[in-house]
């Protein structure tokens, strides 16, 4: 297959930033750009020129505090002439009149920067502001947007894995129910709040507060109806209820969800890549004594009369059902080289089925013995089979899992795999296991069969035990497929799940498959503090994945938290849009995913003009630009951009270490941020 052309790192950053700038210009009536004559905002201005083919159709606002270096003013005026920028100088007259100086840094910044900018935005009626902020500059600035999940979050895919174990090239299910490749995995440290989202029919999901979740909100119509209901006491009482209004489907930030909202669990598309055979030695490659002759396996050290096992077997319904028996009640004793299956004494039909299939498939006879008054054990003496089954599906109860190919077998064979698990260890339409992976994989398998199952902890006293239970609306279908009846009849008393035949469409563009799925209710939402690692996936094409089966949009960032350009969907901007109130403006951050090193490499590649303050004079230079009384130089011998790139690669000093406001206590920066001061120069 021909390899696709890929953009290099700077191309990716440039293309995505240009895309964001164009979308901001399209979406907002009157956008402006904050420009300070520093490297980042100059890079932003250059990207704006690229976005509009050499011209910048939006004004550039320069906040003049009155305390800037002369070189900043000179550089500003020169570039305005050369690039034809429409410059607006924003200045606080109040600060001049009241004599506010940098002696009170917070007050000075608040009046000379924040209030000056607010006044300019209001005076000109700007409704959006493009800024050159980067995430890596400061801890406070790093809080702009983080979409991630903590370790232990189960991701539904070709193989179910915790998010921290997902690798590039793995395939995961998207909100369309189809599998797509994982292009990148990002990991970062995070300290802040997580949302704990509790859906009906599922375990809680923990995610960052602004992670987009495919959701549906139903608002009231403003119309009411009267009703009368007879109570248990025989009394009839009246009331009034609001008629349900129109439902709105969108990618919403997790913290905006409420109890009663709907989140989406898709159906899983049948995979045309069906696996029909498996070779046992594919799981036994580390076994040096294993011998393969004429397609059969044998151990050198085994007794000369021991059985030779067929290496390649057909994955038919019988063997998949047998694998299900192993998952439910199988084990391997390495010291005795015995593969064991445990059954209740009343399950003679399952014992006979197991003996028949093992004989037919591997030409091996089993031995049945009583374990106690009500249990029987079926033993097979084969190291090859013992290792094969235990490596395929796990050794201990907590390690049990479905075979890695369970998503790649035909549906009728998948039915037999699930049937074996359920008959071996299930109780009516409930399955109990201590393996979280197995619980979620069985749930995935059932979803492929269009059956929704819930996952819950068995009890507070047994937190390690998970119960998989077929949900009410699907009990009849489960009975129809597996012949297993429910011990409790289903009554449709609560509106907790709604099936849809088509995948919900947020935008008129983008994928719109017919796989469908179901909306399930949000039972509760709460926030909780978190301090630790977070992970995120960047998924090809659809840009979505399914933690615990719930559809979420991935953050458009790669392993370095860079925006990824590859196959960017046209509706990306709408998926991360925000609503503004009257009189407010929105901040747009085209450089948020760039690093300081990225900016300097880009300046070199594009041969951009650089303010001379960045280069060393007498062993000192400015690493970031600001007000003269509040900005100290750093020691450096940098003479040109190449020197700069090498210095940054080796430096462990924070970029803004010379800026006084960034040396303030955290609460001071938080206050500035709350006031709107997030300006980079």
Instruction: Give me the DSSP letters along 607-668.
Output: T----GGGS-BTTEE-SS--BGGGB--EE----SHHHHHHHHHH--S-TTTTBGGGGS-HHH
Distance CA 620, CA 521 (A): 60
Is the pLDDT score of 30 beyond 90? yes
Distance CA 54, CA 518 (A): 48
Q: How many of the other CB atoms lie within 10 Å of CB of 361?
A: 17
Is the pLDDT score of 588 beyond 50? yes
Per-residue pLDDT band for 34 (boundaries 50, 70, 90) equals very high
Distance CA 115, CA 90 (A): 10
Sign of CA dihedral 608, 612, 618, 623: negative
Q: What is the mean pLDDT of residues 67-78?
A: 93
- Residue 611 in tokens: 């303010």
Angle at 100 between CA 96 and CA 104, to 5 degrees: 160
CATH assignment of 150-213+253-270+425-554, among 3.10.129.10, 1.10.760.10, 2.60.40.10, 2.170.16.10: 2.170.16.10
Give residue 137's pLDDT: 62
Is the pLDDT score of 657 beyond 50? no
Angstrom CA distances, 124 to 48, 585, 588, stand at 20, 12, 18
Q: Which residue has the higher pLDDT, 8 or 78?
A: 78
Sequence-distant (6+) residues with CB within 8 A of 577 are 27
Is the pLDDT score of 660 beyond 50? no
Q: Which residue has the higher pLDDT, 476 or 223?
A: 476
pLDDT over 70 percentage in the chain: 79
As a dihedral over the C-alpha atoms of residue 611, residue 614, residue 617, residue 618, rounded to 10 degrees, the angle is 170
Among the ranges given (107-111, 403-407, 534-538, 634-638), the one the predictor scored with the smallest mean pLDDT: 107-111
Give residue 223's pLDDT: 64
Where do you find CATH 3.10.28.10 in the chain?
277-314+316-404
CA-based nearest residue to 127, from 59, 51, 45: 59
Per-residue pLDDT band for 673 (boundaries 50, 70, 90) equals very low
Is the pLDDT score of 1 beyond 80? no
- Residue 300 in tokens: 């050198």
Strand partners, 659: 631
Is the pLDDT score of 597 beyond 60? yes
Per-residue pLDDT band for 231 (boundaries 50, 70, 90) equals low
Among the ranges given (113-117, 321-325, 433-437), the one the predictor scored with the smallest mean pLDDT: 113-117
Q: Which residue has the higher pLDDT, 390 or 227?
A: 390
Is the pLDDT score of 680 beyond 90? no
How does strand 330-333 pair with strand 338-344? antiparallel
Give residue-wise pLDDT tens across range 567-586: 333 333 333 334 444 445 57
Q: Which CATH class is domain 9-143+575-608+663-675?
A: alpha beta
Task: List, as one string, the DSSP characters of 372-388.
Answer: ETTEEEEEEE-HHHHHH
Is the pLDDT score of 613 beyond 70? yes
Angstrom CA distances, 538 to 23, 301, 416, 558, 563, stand at 21, 48, 34, 6, 10
Distance CA 636, CA 659 (A): 16
Distance CA 664, CA 672 (A): 11
Most confident by average pLDDT, 59-68, 235-244, 622-631? 59-68
Give residue 148's pLDDT: 84
What backbone phi and psi angles, to 5 degrees, belong to 235? -80, 140
Give residue 574's pLDDT: 35
Is the pLDDT score of 61 beyond 70? yes
What backbone phi and psi angles, to 5 degrees, belong to 413? -80, -35
Residue keyed to tokens 């046209």: 570
Give residue 170's pLDDT: 94
Cβ atoms of 150 and 140 within 8 Å: the answer is: no
Distance CA 447, CA 177 (A): 10
Angle at 389 between CA 387 and CA 391, to 5 degrees: 65
Sign of CA dihedral 179, 184, 185, 187: negative
Containing 359, the helix (H) or strand (E) segment is: helix 348-362
Give residue 303's pLDDT: 66
Is the pLDDT score of 600 beyond 70? yes
Grouping H, G, I as helix, E, B as strand and the rest as coil, residue 350 is: helix
Cβ atoms of 445 and 157 within 8 Å: the answer is: no
Is the pLDDT score of 643 beyond 50? yes
Half-sphere exposure of residue 524: CA atoms within 13 angstroms, side-chain side: 5
Is the pLDDT score of 510 beyond 50? no
Containing 500, the helix (H) or strand (E) segment is: strand 497-500
Grouping H, G, I as helix, E, B as strand and the rest as coil, residue 281 is: helix
Give residue 610's pLDDT: 95
Is the pLDDT score of 291 beyond 60? yes
Task: List, as one string, the DSSP characters of 24-35.
Answer: HHHH-SSEEEE-
Q: Which residues of 86-125 are buried (b: 16+ CB within 10 A; e: fewer)?
A: eebebbbeebeeeebebeebeebbbbbbbbbbeebbeeee
Q: What is the mean pLDDT of residues 529-539?
A: 90
Q: Which residue has the higher pLDDT, 138 or 67?
A: 67
Give residue-wise pLDDT tens across range 176-204: 889 999 988 888 888 888 999 999 888 89
Provide the mean pLDDT of the chain.
81
Distance CA 270, CA 258 (A): 33
CATH number corresponding to 277-314+316-404: 3.10.28.10
Most confident by average pLDDT, 192-206, 545-559, 650-664? 192-206
- Residue 486 in tokens: 């429910």
Give residue 573's pLDDT: 35
DSSP conformation class of 123: H
Q: Which residue has the higher pLDDT, 657 or 105?
A: 105
Sequence-distant (6+) residues with CB within 8 A of 271 are 179, 407, 408
Give residue 490's pLDDT: 44
Distance of CA 449 to the CA centre of its chain: 25
Give residue-wise pLDDT tens across range 335-390: 888 999 999 989 999 999 999 999 999 999 999 998 887 899 999 999 999 999 99
Give residue 677's pLDDT: 40
Containing 393, the helix (H) or strand (E) segment is: helix 383-393
Give residue-wise pLDDT tens across range 2-20: 444 556 889 988 998 999 9
């Amino acid at each position: 297959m021909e390899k696709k052309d890929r953009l290099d790192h700077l191309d990716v950053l440039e293309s995505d930033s240009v895309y964001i700038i164009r979308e901001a210009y399209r979406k907002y009536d009157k956008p402006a750009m904050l420009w300070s004559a520093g490297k980042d905002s100059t890079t932003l201005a250059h990207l704006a020129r690229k976005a509009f083919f050499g011209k910048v159709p939006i004004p550039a606002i320069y906040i003049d505090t009155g305390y800037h270096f002369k070189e900043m003013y000179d550089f500003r005026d020169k570039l305005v002439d050369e690039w034809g920028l429409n410059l607006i100088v924003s200045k606080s007259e109040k600060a001049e009149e009241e004599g506010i100086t940098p002696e009170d840094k917070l007050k000075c910044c608040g009046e000379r920067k924040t209030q000056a900018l607010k006044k300019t935005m209001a005076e000109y009626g700007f409704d959006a502001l493009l800024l050159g902020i980067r995430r890596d500059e400061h801890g406070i600035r790093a809080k702009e947007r983080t979409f991630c999940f903590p370790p232990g979050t189960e991701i539904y895919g070709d193989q179910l894995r915790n998010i921290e174990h997902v690798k590039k090239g793995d395939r995961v299910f998207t909100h369309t129910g189809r599998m797509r490749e994982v292009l990148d995995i990002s990991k970062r440290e995070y300290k802040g709040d997580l949302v704990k989202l509790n859906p009906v029919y599922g375990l809680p999901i923990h995610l960052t507060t602004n992670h987009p979740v495919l959701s549906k909100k139903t608002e009231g119509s403003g119309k009411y109806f009267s009703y009368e209901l007879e109570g248990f006491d025989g009394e009839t009482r009246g009331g009034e209820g609001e008629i349900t209004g129109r439902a709105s489907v969108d990618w919403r930030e997790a913290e905006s969800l409420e109890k009663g909202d709907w989140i989406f669990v898709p159906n899983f598309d049948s995979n045309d890549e069906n696996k029909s055979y498996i070779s046992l030695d594919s799981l036994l490659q580390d076994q040096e004594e294993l011998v393969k002759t004429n397609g059969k396996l044998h151990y050198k050290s085994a007794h000369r009369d021991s059985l030779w096992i067929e290496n390649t077997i057909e994955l038919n319904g019988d063997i998949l059902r047998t694998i299900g028996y192993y998952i439910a009640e199988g084990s391997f004793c390495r010291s005795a080289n015995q593969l064991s299956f445990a059954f209740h004494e009343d399950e003679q039909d399952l014992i006979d089925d197991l003996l028949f299939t093992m004989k037919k498939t591997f030409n091996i006879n089993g031995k049945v013995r009583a374990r106690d008054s009500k249990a029987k054990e079926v033993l097979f003496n084969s190291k090859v089979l013992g290792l094969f089954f235990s490596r395929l599906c796990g050794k201990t109860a907590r390690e049990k899992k479905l075979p890695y190919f369970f998503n790649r077998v035909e549906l009728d064979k998948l039915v037999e795999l699930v049937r074996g698990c359920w008959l071996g260890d299930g109780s009516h339409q409930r399955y109990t296991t201590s393996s979280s992976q197995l619980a979620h994989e069985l749930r995935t398998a059932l979803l492929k069969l269009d059956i929704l199952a819930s996952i819950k902890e068995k009890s507070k006293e047994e937190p390690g035990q998970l119960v998989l239970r077929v949900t009410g609306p699907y009990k009849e279908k489960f009975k129809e497929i597996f012949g297993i009846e429910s011990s409790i009849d289903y009554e449709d008393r609560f509106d907790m799940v709604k099936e849809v035949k088509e995948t919900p469409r947020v935008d008129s563009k983008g994928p719109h498959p017919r796989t469908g799925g179901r909306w399930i209710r949000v039972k509760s939402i709460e926030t909780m503090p978190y301090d630790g690692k977070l992970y995120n996936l960047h998924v090809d094409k659809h840009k979505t994945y399914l933690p615990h089966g719930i559809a979420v949009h991935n953050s458009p960032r790669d392993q370095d938290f860079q925006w990824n350009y590859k196959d960017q969907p046209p509706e990306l901007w709408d998926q991360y849009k925000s609503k503004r109130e009257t009189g407010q403006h929105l901040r747009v951050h085209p450089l948020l995913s760039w690093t300081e090193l990225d900016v300097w490499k880009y300046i070199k590649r594009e041969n951009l003009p650089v303010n001379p303050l960045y280069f060393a004079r007498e062993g000192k230079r400015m690493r970031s630009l600001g007000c003269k009384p509040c900005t100290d130089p750093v020691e450096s011998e940098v003479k040109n951009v190449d020197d700069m790139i090498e210095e940054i690669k080796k430096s462990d000093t924070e970029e803004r270490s010379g800026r006084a406001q960034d040396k303030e206590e955290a609460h001071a920066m938080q206050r500035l941020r709350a006031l709107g001061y997030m300006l980079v120069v």
